[in-house]
Amino acid sequence: ISITGSTRAGVLVAQAAAVTVKRVAQELGGKSPNVVLPDADLTRAIPPGVAAAFRNMGQSCSAPTRLIVPRAALDRVHELALATL
């Protein structure tokens, strides 16, 4: 389970996940993620997503400093992200 939300939501998710010992990754009250769906055009989605993380030097709460991508696309996303820098 991966969520972005408030501390209150994180507590509720962790409690619900504990019953069945689910792994939980939480970003509580932090910066926004870019969520890349399986059918996304990676060459159009990744470069602007990487660039957006550096707006205002990454110092805003809306700076999307994380990419959540399908595992199958991870290698290609990594290539595109490095090429953008």
The closest alpha carbon to 31, from 13, 53, 12, belongs to 53
Distance separating alpha carbons of residues 14 and 42, to the nearest angstrom: 32
Catalytic residue among 17, 27, 33, 52: 27
Q: Which helix (H) or strand (E) holds 10?
A: helix 7-18
Whether 43 is catalytic is no
From the candidates 61, 72, 82, 85, give the one annotated as an active-site residue.
61
Q: Please say if 79 is a catalytic residue.
A: no
Write out the catalytic residue numbers: 27, 61
